[in-house]
Structure 1
Amino acid sequence: MEDKTALSQGSVFRSLLAIVQWWGFNVTVIIMNKWIFQKLDFKFPLSVSCVHFICSSIGAYIAIKVLKVKPLIVVEPEDRWKRIFPMSFVFCINIVLGNVSLRYIPVSFMQTIKSFTPATTVVLQWLVWRKYFDWRIWASLVPIVGGILLTSVTELSFNAFGFSAALLGCLATSTKTILAESLLHGYKFDSINTVYYMAPFATMILGVPALLLEGNGILEWFQTHETIYSSLFIILLSGVLAFCLNFSIFYVIHSTTAVTFNVAGNLKVAVAVLISWLIFRNPISAMNAVGCAITLGGCTFYGYVRHLLSQQPASTGTPRTPRTPRSRMELLPLVNDKLDDKV
């Protein structure tokens, strides 16, 4: 009995440790990126994203090839271009849009908009694939959409370009998830192998646009900025921590349940909002805070509904109609909540 109790306590401790280190890396990367754009005046989101991809490529190579943390999942060369490259392209767009939005809007607003991803995923699958969803899935989206609308209307630091970038980032995240279901069919990727294959492609995709669009601005920044070396260290450190975030997701996946992860993810958004406000002091109205709380509550309810539906046994012997799902899994959106948070 004591052994079981000790084992249970050890499991809880590992789960808490996994969540705390995931929170730490995630919030730190977000705050550092905002600091780079706002305090260091390094207003080049494409280049920052490129640094992240380069660091992630190197980190994934070391983790798999040198430290052998995870075995390499072998992908055929043809599949790398037909399957991995399209995923990498959307992955790249997703990260860039997130960094672009951080340049123009506060962390609190950006994180709230990012919570809109479940709604965009469900709507995309419904429109494109005509996928059936249980009414409770649709009901869970109401507070998410309502909270986003209230937050947007009452946001004191509203910027149309930053808002659009964050919203498009939600669409890119949803598209990435949906593509993963079809393009990566047959490959059971973990987070490290995903980065190992996608980050080099993303670096290649982003390198030329970053050079052409931001090269001159970066050269001017080098000439006029006073603390070059310390600033470069912070930019590089943000890239290293971005890879560590991916690694932390791999750890938290194996240490928590889906429900725990969902709740922890929404609490992480609240922590990011609070810490960003303490550092940057961006104005937040009372109604704006209420909108954010409604959105996070809606996300938690959405995660609970997904879990509830996934636990229900499939019904048998029921006559099918064109609107009847073929299986219980058709009631669930193709959203891998545990892997949508990569930076």
Structure 2
Amino acid sequence: MEETRMLSWGVFRSLLAIVQWWGFNVTVIIMNKWIFQKLDFKFPLTVSCIHFICSSIGAYIAIKLLKIKPLIEVDPEDRWRRIFPMSFVFCINIVLGNVSLRYIPVSFMQTIKSFTPATTVILQWVVWRRHFDWRIWASLVPIVGGILLASLTELSFNILGFCAALFGCLATSTKTILAESLLHGYKFDSINTVYYMAPFATMLLAVPAILLESGGVVTWLYTHESVGSALVVILGSGVLAFCLNFSIFYVIHSTTAVTFNVAGNLKVAVAVMASWAVFRNPIPGLNAFGCAVTLCGCTFYGFVRHKLAQQPGTPRAPANRDVLELLPLVNEKQDKA
């Protein structure tokens, strides 16, 4: 009886973790799209900078004041030699994600971001000469094919938004690969990761945001009809972006890698349906089919990685990558291979 109760609690905890992760992730994406489209606040650098400021403050409160997680001490030299390069790529990744949301529908952006496993494999193969099992390459076929089909049939196709999302996949892959080498020896959780990376990212974004978008922001403040409520939405998206990090930490410790992979792909489907319900952007049948094929390919990719990791003698990647692949607004799926 006791074992049954424990099993039921474990299942309930996993479901609760997944649902709240879905909620934060989808809400942040929808809010960002709402900010760009409905509030006419077309400044992705400023939005990203606000997210990083909120994340910096939130991580400080969580570690220093609430002491939810102990602070992982990092040598000052390592902060610049290891964490700063990660923050730079992390910053580019988030900005590209917001730029893509500025120009293309959420459904199309989420489909393109599912290309990240393919860019990770190709980048490691081309640059680092790493060899992969043929099943890994086979799993990339439906991912690439589905994205091509979705792109060809997307009614709201925009080349700038498409390129931003595609290069965002490349930035996510680079961040993932760098994490394995730059953060070797530091077992970061998501809160400590944000604690160290968000201030660097804020510093990197502040100057270009001021130089490129400050004039437009000032004009928007003077001309927008409901500035107060709009600012609440913008700041709220930043707070939820930090909450998303905290939810990721909870999910990682409540589910298995396979469950997380499947849940991650279902999350994309939930985001697509939610965006359609809110924005009513047209989704042709072939476009939806391409998205479904891509998600099936991502699920198969995660399954293959998990199976290969179970084979004797297969090296396992550092745990750092599991957290770093899932920072705010990043749609890379987790695998613990």
* 2:225 counterpart letter in structure 1: E
**1:281 CA displacement:** 0.5
Match of 1:139 in 2: 138
Tell me the equivalent position of 1:342.
327
Question: 5 Å matches for 1:83-94?
Answer: 83-94=82-93
Match of 1:71 in 2: 70
Is the contact made by 2:90 and 2:201 (CA closer than 8 Å) also made in structure 1? yes
Question: Which residue in 1 is equivalent to 2:115?
Answer: 116
User: Does the 8 Å contact 2:101/2:161 carry over to 1?
Assistant: yes
Contact between 2:179 and 2:324, CA under 8 Å: does it hold in 1?
no
* Contact 1:53–1:199 under 8 Å retained in 2: yes
In the other structure, the counterpart of 1:322 is none
Structure 1, gaps ≥5 residues long: 315-327
Q: Are the equivalent residues in 2 in contact too, given 1:126–1:132 (CA < 8 A)?
A: yes
The runs of 5 or more residues in structure 2 that have no matched partner are 329-337
Query: Residues of 1 paired with 2:194 and 2:272: CA distance?
Result: 27
Amino acid at match of 1:147: G
- Taking the aligned partners of 1:338 and 1:193, their CA distance within structure 2 comes to 10
CA deviation string 1:295-316 (max 9, x = no partner): 00000000000111011112xx
**Which residue in 1 is equivalent to 2:315?**
329
* Alpha-carbon distance in 1 for matches of 2:318, 2:188: 19
Asked if 1:242 is matched to 2:228, the reply is: no
Alignment partners' CA distance in 2, 1:96 and 1:338 = 19
The residue identity in structure 2 corresponding to 1:282 is N
CA contact (8 A) 1:121 1:335 kept: no
Contact 1:22/1:252, CA 8 A, preserved across alignment? yes
User: Shift of the alpha carbon at 1:339?
Assistant: 4.0
Contact 1:44 1:214 in 2 (8 A): yes
Contact map agreement 2:180 2:320 (CA 8 A) in 1 = no
The separation in 2 between residues aligned to 1:255 and 1:293, in whole angstroms, is 26
RMSD over aligned Cα, in angstroms? 1.4
Contact in 1 for aligned 2:124/2:130 (Cα 8 Å): yes
CA distance in 2, matches of 1:235, 1:336: 29
Confirm or deny: 8 A CA contact 2:188 2:320 kept in the other structure.
no
Contact 1:177 1:334 in 2 (8 A): no
Q: Give the paired residue count.
A: 328
Which residue identity is paired with 1:131? R
The offset of 1:88, in angstroms, is 0.2
Report if aligned partners of 1:120, 1:171 keep a CA contact under 8 Å in 2. Answer: yes
Q: CA deviation at 1:45?
A: 0.2
Residues 147 and 290, structure 2, Cα contact 8 Å, conserved in 1:
yes
Aligned-residue sequence identity (percent) comes to 79
- CA deviations 1:225-247 (Å, max 9, x no partner) are 00000000000000000000000
Task: Name 1:203's counterpart in structure 2.
Answer: 202
CA shift, 1:39, in A, is 0.1
Letter in 2 for 1:93: I
- C-alpha displacement at 1:132, in angstroms? 1.1
**Letter of the aligned partner of 2:327 in structure 1?**
K
Task: Return structure 1 stretches of 4+ with deviation > 6 angstroms.
Answer: 332-335
Q: Is the 8 A contact 1:52 1:239 kept in 2?
A: yes
